Amino acid sequence: MTTTVNTTASATTTSTPPKGRSLWSDAGRRFRGNKLAVASVFVLAFIVILAAIAPLLTPWPYDMILNNEALFNPEYEAFNDANFPRAPDFVNSLWFGSGVNDRDLFYRSMIGVLISLAVGLTASLVALLIGVIYGSVSGYFGGRVDQIMMRIVDIIYALPFMFIVILLMVMFGRNFFLMFAAIGAVEWLTMARIVRGQTLSLKSREFVSAARASGVSSFNIIRRHIIPNLLGPVIVYVTLVVPQVILVESFLSFLGLGVQEPMTSLGVLISEGAKRLEDAPHTLLFPASILAIILFCLNFIGDGLRDALDPKDR
């Protein structure tokens, strides 16, 4: 086995021209070679753009209850019957029909997309920030500091975190900010472990020692050697955290503990749709498939980045 690796390795190294290729252009090339990941980028971009320009695509305000409006406003005559949720209706520009409360489902789904992504990105950035600082401090100082800091991480890690988050949401109301904080405060743990491990191993690597021995300043060592080597795993982890956070947000919203009316999120819409799946399955299918597609795309992109940035992991 070892010798197989040797043969193929020596074969590939000698077959490539001696011209150096940077880590990043190499990674970019590998990522572009991953068709699933590239397609996911396009699909995700399409959904995000659609969500961003949703107000232009529908005449109905996101919080307007169509049937209520019809009682007062003759313009909305079409919605006079109380027979909702309405099926998709292209004549009235109700692309996805109306939801359980007779609001425009398309607009609301798109708002759900934006909220999911906003929560996902913000909480991931919170996790990134805390995790990188905590992990690098722990790894850099090492020794007893490292031991204590990592023991704390171990303990928090073992907490049944979903229940703590729910407890938080119950106690302090369904506050948007709290949700970011609660989710971010949990997801940083893995990040801290990854960063710590990387810092520890980088600190003692030959190329760092070599740089130090040849008089490169600490700042330049960190800039040229530590950060580029840290960046790969960190980026990969962040892309894998985003869908996880989205899942948590929609989980809470599904239970009724997340985003509140008249705001909405995909989790809320799915929960509402699930109650009406017998007579109005579209109220479930639209938000559910959008959430599934977003999660698929993010996972494929994350996997693609991991393969591209960390080829030895394949």
Partner 1 sequence: MVRYFLSRLLIAIPTLLAVITLSFFLVRAAPGNPFDSEKPLPPTIRANLDAKYGLDKPVFEQFTNYVGGLVKFSKEEGSWLPTVTLDFGPSYQYKDRTVTYFIQAGFPVSLKLGLMAIAIALVIGVGAGSLAALRQNTWMDYTVMGFSMTGITVPNFVVGPILQLIVISILSATAVQLVPITGWGDSWKQAIMPVFVLALPQIAYIARQTRGSMIEVLRSNYIRTARAKGVPERTMIIRHALKAALLPIVSYLGPAVAAITTGSVVVEKIFRIPGIGTHFVNGALNRDYTMVMGVVIFFGALIIIANLIVDVLYGLLDPRVRAA
Partner 2 sequence: MTNTNQIPNSNIGKEVVSPVLSVKDLTVSFRTNDGPVSAVNNMNFEIYPGDTVGVVGESGSGKSQTFLAIMGLLAQNGEATGSAILNIEGKDHELVGMDLNRLNKLRGSKMSMIFQDPMTSLNPYLKISTQMCEVLRLHQGMGKAAAQQKALKFLDLVRIPEAKARLNQYPHELSGGMRQRVMIAMSLLCEPALLIADEPTTALDVTVQAQVLRLLHDLKTDFNTAIVLITHDLGVVAGVCDRVQVMYGGRLAEIARVDDIFYNPQHPYTRGLLESTPRLNADGSSKHADLPTIKGQPPNLQNLPAGCAFAPRCDHATEHCQKEIPTLRYFNENHAKACFAEGFSQSTLLHGAD
Binding site for partner 2 (CB under 8 A): 1-4, 6-8, 10-12, 14-15
- Residue placing its CB nearer to partner 2 in the complex, 3 or 25: 3
For residue 284, the tally of other CB atoms under 10 A from its CB is 19
Q: Tell me how far, at minimum, the Cβ of 45 lies from partner 2, in Å.
A: 29
Q: Which does 10 bind (CB under 5 to 8 A by kind): partner 1, partner 2, none?
A: partner 2
CA triple 250-252-257, angle to 5 deg = 130
Q: Which does 153 bind (CB under 5 to 8 A by kind): partner 2, partner 1, none?
A: none
Number of Cα atoms under 13 Å in the Cβ half of residue 71:
5
Gap between the Cα atoms of 60 and 254, Å rounded: 25
Check residue 160 for interaction with partner 1 (CB under 8 A). yes
Q: Which of 114, 162, 181, 216 binds partner 1 (CB under 8 A)?
A: 162
For residue 25, the tally of other CB atoms under 10 A from its CB is 9
Check residue 148 for interaction with partner 1 (CB under 8 A). no
Gap between the Cα atoms of 84 and 78, Å rounded: 12
Check residue 153 for interaction with partner 1 (CB under 8 A). no
Which residue from 244, 268, 246, 256 is spatially nearest to 174, judged by alpha carbons? 256
Cα 242 to Cα 118, 144, 179, 192, 236, distances in angstroms: 10, 33, 14, 16, 10
Check residue 207 for interaction with partner 1 (CB under 8 A). no
Q: Tell me how far, at minimum, the Cβ of 260 lies from partner 1, in Å.
A: 12
- Residue placing its CB nearer to partner 1 in the complex, 231 or 247: 247
Show the tokens assigned to 189: 């743990």
Instruction: Annotate each residue in 97-136 with x if it binds partner 1 (CB under 8 A) or - if it does not, as one string.
Output: ----------------------------------------
Show the tokens assigned to 12: 């590939």
Q: Which does 162 bind (CB under 5 to 8 A by kind): partner 2, partner 1, none?
A: partner 1
Which residues in 250-289 contact partner 1 (CB under 8 A)?
250-251, 254-257, 267, 270-271, 273-274, 277-278, 281, 284-285, 288
Count of residues of this chain found to bind partner 1 when the rule CB under 8 A is applied: 42
Gap between the Cα atoms of 151 and 161, Å rounded: 17
CB within 8 Å of 130: residues ≥ 6 apart: 184, 185, 188, 191, 192
Q: Tell me how far, at minimum, the Cβ of 14 lies from partner 2, in Å.
A: 4
Q: Which does 137 bind (CB under 5 to 8 A by kind): partner 2, partner 1, none?
A: none
Q: Tell me how far, at minimum, the Cβ of 39 lies from partner 2, in Å.
A: 21
Which residue from 169, 131, 153 is spatially nearest to 256, judged by alpha carbons? 169
Burial status of residue 279 (CB atoms within 10 A of its CB: 0-12, 13-18, 19 or more): exposed
Instruction: Annotate each residue in 64-103 with x if it binds partner 1 (CB under 8 A) or - if it does not, as one string.
Output: ----------------------------------------
Which residues of the shown chain bind partner 1 in the complex (CB under 8 A)? Answer: 1, 151, 154-156, 158-160, 162-164, 166-172, 243, 247, 250-251, 254-257, 267, 270-271, 273-274, 277-278, 281, 284-285, 288, 291-292, 295-296, 299
